[in-house]
Amino acid sequence: MTVPVGIHDITLATARYALDLGELARRFDVDVNKFYTGIGQRVMSVPAEDEDIVTMGASAAARLLERDGGPMPRTLLFATETGIDQSKSAGVYVHGLLGMPAECRVLELKQACYSAAGALQLALGLVARSPDERVLVIASDIARYDLASSGEATQGAAAVAFLVQRDPALIEIEPASGLHTLDVQDFWRPNSRNTALVDGKYSVKAYIDSLKGAFDDYRAHGGASIDEIDRFCYHQPFTKMAVKAHTSLLQHTGRPADRQAVADALAPTFTYNAEVGNSYTASIFIGLLALLDGDVDLTGERIGFFSYGSGAVSEFFSGRVMPGYEAHLHRDEHASALLARESIDYERYLTLHPGTEVSSRGDYTTAAGAGRFRFTGVREHSREYLDVERAPESSTAAEQ
Ligand code: HMG
């Protein structure tokens, strides 16, 4: 009998501020239902000046490790497309902030919104080879588009952290997987820019074409038929994207495709993403968290996952919900991460948007926010971080 390998525990963190999309609708004189209903988004998380992918990732991972009784993970995979350095992995900063042992490999992975699903697959391989090992995966991103662009309403910020190990408490990931890679220019972010460039309508088409290709490959590699999959969990740049995608998949496989029925079936995966916005590589796992945290018993059900990263790499894979999973959920923690955000208006949001071009600010210090982990500023080209609970007077850089 093969030993199940998969996701043992998972949690999320998001940013300090929340901008209701009603603020954008008012500013641009657009019917708010274009956002609330048309793209299925209500609110976007907006980071404070002292927050970034490291602070969000550390915040999620700290909670995960603090409640975990197992051996320390020997691998930390950090998935992001909001890189803070061309050389050093953001995961190494998190490793330092969390005081993880030196006996650990740390890597950063990038391929748009796909990289956390890729990290999951690498983690499964590591555990299959060394069954006593555990892998910590962190996915952390800040989605930013130009002000007044069509993508602006689909910004957001969040991180997830999850542990991959044998005999997982939550989800066993099945071996079959379907892959699809195509060199397309639907969405990209040159090094000179803070904001992504996107061909919005083309990106939607590329997503759907990739889904069909990845699902066909999943089937060709022993994956379950569409009728044997109980739930679907999609990458959600905006929640309506998942509805469009699943409707197309049903048509592709010759099944009836009523859009309202699809929206209702996928809705349990939308509750968190509709409130945080696009969190790029974290988004599919935030969809999973919302599904698990919902009020339906999922025991034994098969979930089909579709991860899409523009550019474009995608994967369709599946997993089974483990018996007893409900005892390992942390619903209150996730609800309070969202509720703790402070609502801001459009004017305040403008002051937090970094603008299009990357500019060198030299040395600077950030204003202190309320989070446990802080990006405190830059000194001599070096980013500095602080764990307020552990080292109030020093930064990680100063400690090294
Ligand atoms: P747009 O072109 O401004 O919006 O932006 P639209 O005119 O297409 O309207 C959107 C929907 O709202 C439409 O519904 C309208 O009918 C509806 P649909 O026809 O699509 O079903 N609508 C209304 N509904 C109710 N009441 C109203 C109303 N008005 C209109 N009053 C676009 C849409 C997706 C282009 C834009 O949001 C965008 O550019 N987003 C960024 C790109 C993106 O998210 N692409 C998704 C696929 S690519 C991907 O997922 C990868 C990504 O995450 C990056 C990565 O991999 O790293 C982005």
116-126 pLDDT per residue, tens = 999 999 999 99
Cβ-contact 321, 300 below 8 angstroms:
yes
Specify the DSSP class assigned to residue 5.
Answer: E
Query: 39 alpha carbon to ligand 1 midpoint, in Å?
Result: 6
Ligand 1 atom closest to the Cα of residue 32 is 31
> Of the candidates 289, 277, 199, which has an alpha carbon nearest to the alpha carbon of residue 238?
277
User: pTM higher than 0.85 for the full model?
Assistant: yes
Q: Where are the alpha helices (DSSP H) in 130-255?
A: 200-220, 239-252
How long a stretch of residues is the chain? 400
For 104, 233, 329, the CA distances from 65, given in Å and listed in that order, are 14, 25, 15
Cβ-contact 245, 209 below 8 angstroms:
no
Q: Which residues pair with 156 in a beta bridge?
A: 143, 277
- Reduce the DSSP state of residue 226 to 3 states and report it: helix
Peptide bond into 153 cis (omega under 30): no
Residue tagged 């320390």 (tokens): 72
- Token code pair at residue 337: 């991460």
Check residue 394 and give its pLDDT.
45
Q: Which residues pair with 143 in a beta bridge?
A: 156
- Token code pair at residue 315: 């994967």
Can you list the residues of the chain whose pLDDT is less than 70? 1, 391-400
> Of the candidates 83, 44, 145, 59, which has an alpha carbon nearest to the alpha carbon of residue 348?
44
**Distance, CA of 255 to chain centre:** 30
Q: Is 143's C-beta closer than 6 angstroms to any atom of ligand 1? A: no
Residue tagged 């998935």 (tokens): 79
Work out the angle at residue 81's Cα, subtended by the Cα atoms of residues 80 and 84, and round it to the nearest 5 degrees: 85
189: left (phi over 0), alpha (psi -120 to 50) or beta: beta
Alpha-carbon gap, residue 357 to 193, rounded angstroms: 5
Check residue 302 and give its pLDDT.
98
Q: Report the DSSP pairing between strands 302-309 and 231-234.
A: parallel
Catalytic residues: 81, 113, 235
Beta strand spans in 2-116 (E): 5-14, 17-20, 43-46, 75-79, 105-109
Ligand 1 atom closest to the Cα of residue 311 is 56
Check residue 1 and give its pLDDT.
60
**Distance, CA of 58 to chain centre:** 14
Q: Is 184's C-beta closer than 6 angstroms to any atom of ligand 1? A: no
CB atoms within 10 A of CB 253: 15
Q: Select from 82, 150, 197 the residue to mutate for testing ligand 1; criterion: most ligand atoms less than 8 Å from CB.
A: 150
